[in-house]
A = this chain, B = another copy of it.
Amino acid sequence: MSEFKFIENGSVTSVPGFKACGVTCGLKKSGNPDMALVFAEKPANFAGVFTSCVFAAAPVRICQKKVRSSEKAQAFIINSGNANACTGASGLANAEKMCDMTAGKLNIDPESVLVASTGRIGVQMPMDIIEKGINLAVANLASDGGNQAAQAIMTTDTVPKACAVSVEIAGKTVTIGAICKGVGMIDPQMTTAPHATMICCITTDAVCSNALLEKLVSENADNSFNRITVDGDMSTNDTCVIFANGNSGVVLEENSADTAKFQAALLALMQNLAHKQVMDGEGATKFVAIEVDGAPDKESAKRLAEAVANSLLCKTAWFGCDPNWGRIIAALGYAGVKFDPDKVDVFYDDKIVVAKGGDAGTPEAELAEILKNREFTVKVHLNQGNGEYWVWTSDVSYEYVKINAEYHT
């Protein structure tokens, strides 16, 4: 039934007219790739959604300005290893300079260059290293460089994250590609922007206005990136940018059937990336979908789902493969939603664990089998309304603590 299909090894460069690369300039002590560049051969329409953190990083502020002031964008320069956050006026100047340097090397308008950074907060960018990196990146742009770019934006990610889909619209093929990173500082509290230490670059060859691109990415973020939480921490640097170069000739207009098709394909792509982020969540051994329905309203369902997903006690129980449903009940109970506890049923996958607010009697061994799986679902039926919501989360393991106790030093 789906009208789109995933492209094997797909990425931003699966879309005709885009080049990319990932290079090593020396920002990371590890010597791993740390600078990526995505380039549209001709100026493209674009849009972006960003963190709503009060301490939004310098590159975020630059991009927020450009999505309002620039008609077109053509390049996206991204570094890992330094977040350029809490770096004051020098940080802002350096982020601007990164755009200018990239524009100079590519011989394009500086106003058409976007920038993102991820890594350590509060340290000024070493601009000599940055300059070297930008020169290298421009020299290495390639029409198959998307997966290298995905590698260069990783921080605590253990695998690069990229994907692409194609969709038939009006007899033509539209392609959408993406790269993203982010497995920690991931939390779904916001409603109009993705929020996670996540950086995502999406490319497409659809013909689409900046305003409609923003609408489509925002709406889809609410059903993908905004549904995931690893640790309940939102980042200073979250950035999700989309470029549309129009090469396919397929025109998207507001509220059309064609646009609905495109949006569904874009959602599948963004959900695929969100799924990959949670699967690679820092130290994660479990992928857990929390599905709440029958709540008084959607907002209530959201609060309930997020309370369970962010409960440290639930997350550690899942790590221990422990079907301790009392912790789920406790989290539902403190979520700040009024409901009748005696109507609540809870399932692990298809096994009932709580019936009408009490133990359903399913043998613990059967439940424990489900909890041993890499992925499972916690379903909460409140049976007192039509509000629904779901989120994806991970467990909290020894490895999570290790990664985050030792990240800095």
Contact = CB atoms under 8 A, between A and B. Distances in A.
A397 B402 CA distance: 9
Interface in A71-102: 83, 85-88, 91
A42 interface: no
A342 interface: yes
A400 B234 CA distance: 23
A199 interface: no
A357 B396 contact: no
State which size class the interface on A falls in: 35 or more
Interface string A305-325: 000001111001101111011
A356 B55 CA distance: 12
Given A55-B333, A88-B342, A329-B86, A123 B359 contact: yes
A405 interface: yes
B341 A55 contact: yes
Contacts of A405: 316-317, 319-320, 322, 397
A231 interface: yes
Interface string A323-360: 01111011111111111011000000000001011110
Nearest to A233: B313
B85 A313 contact: no
Contacts of A83: 326
Contact of A401 (B185, B322, B339, B401): B401
A408 B326 CA distance: 10
A338 B54 contact: yes
A401 to B, nearest CB: 5
Contacts of A327: 121, 233
A339 to B, nearest CB: 6
Contacts of A246: none
A331 B53 CA distance: 9
A406 B321 CA distance: 9
Interface of A: 52-56, 83, 85-88, 91, 120-123, 184-185, 187, 189, 195, 231-236, 310-313, 316-317, 319-322, 324-327, 329-339, 341-342, 354, 356-359, 368, 396-398, 400-402, 404-409
29 contacts: A54-B334, A54-B339, A54-B341, A55-B329, A55-B330, A85-B326, A86-B341, A86-B359, A88-B356, A88-B357, A120-B326, A121-B324, A121-B330, A122-B358, A122-B359, A185-B330, A195-B334, A233-B312, A233-B327, A233-B334, A234-B334, A312-B312, A312-B400, A316-B401, A317-B404, A320-B407, A320-B408, A396-B401, A398-B398
